[in-house]
């Protein structure tokens, strides 16, 4: 196997994991970046993602350059058939392969949990929006999920008919004539102070000896501690051990995240986690070596740079239909990890509709204590250019919930948790 400095990587992505390409480029011989952009009427906005960044080359067509590539990298789900085809041609491939079905098919995931003897959160399947409305009308506190089409609908919380019936009306418009053909999963809420997460990677059923034990304020901020695998919460250790044969069978070679509530595995992330990818890119000093070894079937242990990591989502001011433009100060180049953008004349540019809402990436920081990681995140947030903001204030709620969980007898960190009011400068 070549060293990373001799390796040409080709990343196949849809824009969310541009930061992976930029991280690999720090030590690789060459990095190509491809986003599927061709359609009947192709657009510049689709094609230009990833263009202009130092040491990252935009790749128009992977088939034209495949003979120059040593390792293909698929940090997201989808394209399992392409991964398997490239592997059959002798290429090293970092990707989930058919393991992405565990995330894309929620009913399958629950069946696998049952087969593995792991607890399953109570749920029912309801076919069509008309039946969903009837089912929910006299109920409260449920979570609504669908499989496969994560761009159509993310998981959402049904509180009651008074507060959320309008959400069903909006779904009727979005789904149109397909509304009564869409299967929905209605999942019981789990009374629990905090979700416990594990963020790591897996190679053919083998796991590294260290991983991130992370806690998240949903899609807003994230705090994680590097822990030895055997020191992880028991429910995460049980999941890892139970899934190892399944992952070996699937030849899964990618990042992997687990979310648990009250001991139940509620959602698998069969790709880079959002959040958590920024922390892995920033914390594991040998991340490129991990990817290259994993693509070749070897699970390499990470070398941690920090004990703790913190992340906050980044939002960009402006209208979604306009080009967004910012200039990132050099001192933030390692800490600001952006998605779905390009660089033109020294400015980071976001094509219209090139991101979901105003969220454009993550700000990440590390430290030897949780407090140090939070303080560094706040310091970096103060250096952000006008128009770009980090959701550091959401750390208050996250830390408050962590303290509540510890008061209830659940150990969420090996270090002292700071007072909530002190986490935002």
Q: Which residue from 211, 250, 218 is spatially nearest to 233, judged by alpha carbons?
A: 211
In this predicted structure, what is the pLDDT of residue 356?
46
Backbone dihedral angles phi then psi of residue 97, each to the nearest 5 degrees:
50, -140
Measured distance CA(223)–CA(407) in Å, rounded = 18
Residue in this structure with the two tokens 């849809």, named with its chain if needed? 14
In this predicted structure, what is the pLDDT of residue 245?
97
pTM of the model: 0.95
Q: Point out which residues pair with 188 in neighbouring strands.
A: 142
Q: Which fold has domain 122-188?
A: Dna Ligase; domain 1 (3.30.1490)
Which tokens hold the place of 328? 């990132």
Residue ranges, the chain, pLDDT below 50: 354-356
Query: Among the residues of 178-233, which ranges form H helices?
Result: none
Residue range(s) occupied by CATH 3.40.50.720 in the chain = 7-97
Q: Which residue from 300, 306, 241, 244 is spatially nearest to 280, judged by alpha carbons?
A: 306
Query: Residue 378 region, left (φ>0) first, then alpha (ψ -120 to 50), else beta?
Result: alpha
In this predicted structure, what is the pLDDT of residue 358?
78
> CA distances (Å), 215 to each of 55, 157, 199, 259, 399, in order?
33, 19, 10, 9, 9
Residue range(s) occupied by CATH 3.30.1490 in the chain = 122-188
pLDDT in tens, 139-174: 999 999 999 998 899 999 999 999 999 999 999 999
Beta-carbon contacts of 189 under 8 Å, excluding residues fewer than 6 positions away, are 141, 142, 143, 157
In this predicted structure, what is the pLDDT of residue 33?
98
In this predicted structure, what is the pLDDT of residue 425?
62
In this predicted structure, what is the pLDDT of residue 18?
98
Q: Point out which residues pair with 56 in neighbouring strands.
A: none
Instruction: Give residue 53's Cα distance to chain centre.
Output: 22
7-97 is a CATH 3.50.50.60 domain: no
pLDDT in tens, 276-302: 999 999 999 999 999 999 999 999 999
In this predicted structure, what is the pLDDT of residue 81?
98
Instruction: Give residue 370's Cα distance to chain centre.
Output: 21
Measured distance CA(312)–CA(364) in Å, rounded = 7
Measured distance CA(217)–CA(10) in Å, rounded = 33
């Amino acid at each position: 196997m070549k060293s990373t400095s001799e390796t040409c990587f080709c990343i196949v992505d849809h824009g969310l994991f541009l930061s992976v390409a930029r991280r690999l480029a720090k030590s690789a011989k060459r990095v190509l970046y491809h986003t599927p952009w061709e359609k009947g009427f192709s657009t510049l906005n689709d094609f230009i993602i990833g263009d202009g960044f130092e040491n990252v080359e935009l790749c128009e067509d992977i088939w034209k350059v495949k003979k120059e590539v040593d390792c293909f990298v698929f940090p997201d789900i989808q394209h399992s058939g392409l991964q398997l085809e490239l592997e059959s041609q002798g290429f090293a491939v970092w990707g989930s392969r058919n393991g992405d079905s565990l995330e894309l098919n929620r009913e399958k995931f629950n069946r696998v949990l049952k087969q593995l003897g792991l607890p399953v959160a109570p749920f029912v399947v309801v076919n069509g929006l008309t039946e969903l409305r009837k089912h929910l009308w006299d109920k409260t506190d449920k979570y609504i999920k669908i499989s496969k089409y994560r761009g159509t609908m993310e998981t959402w919380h049904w509180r009651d008919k008074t507060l959320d019936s309008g959400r069903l009306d909006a779904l009727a418009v979005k789904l149109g004539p397909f509304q009564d053909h869409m299967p929905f999963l209605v999942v019981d809420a789990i009374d629990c102070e905090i979700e416990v997460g594990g963020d790591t990677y897996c190679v053919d059923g083998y796991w590294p000896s260290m991983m991130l034990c992370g806690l998240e304020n949903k899609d807003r901020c994230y705090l994680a501690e590097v822990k030895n695998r055997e020191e992880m919460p028991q429910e995460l250790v049980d999941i890892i051990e139970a899934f190892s044969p399944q992952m070996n069978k699937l030849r899964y070679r990618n990042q992997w995240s687990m979310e648990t509530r009250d001991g139940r595995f509620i959602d698998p992330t069969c790709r880079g986690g959002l959040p958590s990818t920024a922390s892995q890119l920033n914390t594991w000093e040998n991340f490129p070596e991990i990817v290259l070894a994993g693509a070749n079937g070897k699970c390499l242990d990470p070398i941690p740079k920090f004990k703790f990591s913190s992340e906050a989502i980044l939002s960009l001011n402006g209208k979604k239909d306009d080009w967004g433009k910012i200039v990132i100060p050099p001192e933030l180049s390692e800490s600001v990890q952006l998605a779905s953008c390009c660089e033109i004349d020294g400015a980071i540019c976001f094509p219209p509709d090139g991101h979901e809402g105003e969220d454009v990436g993550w700000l990440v920081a590390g430290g030897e204590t949780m407090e140090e990681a939070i303080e560094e995140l706040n310091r970096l947030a103060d250096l952000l250019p006008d128009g770009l903001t980090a959701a550091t204030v959401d750390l208050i709620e996250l830390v408050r919930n962590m303290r509540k969980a510890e008061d209830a007898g659940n150990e969420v960190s090996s270090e002292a948790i700071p007072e909530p009011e002190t986490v935002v400068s």
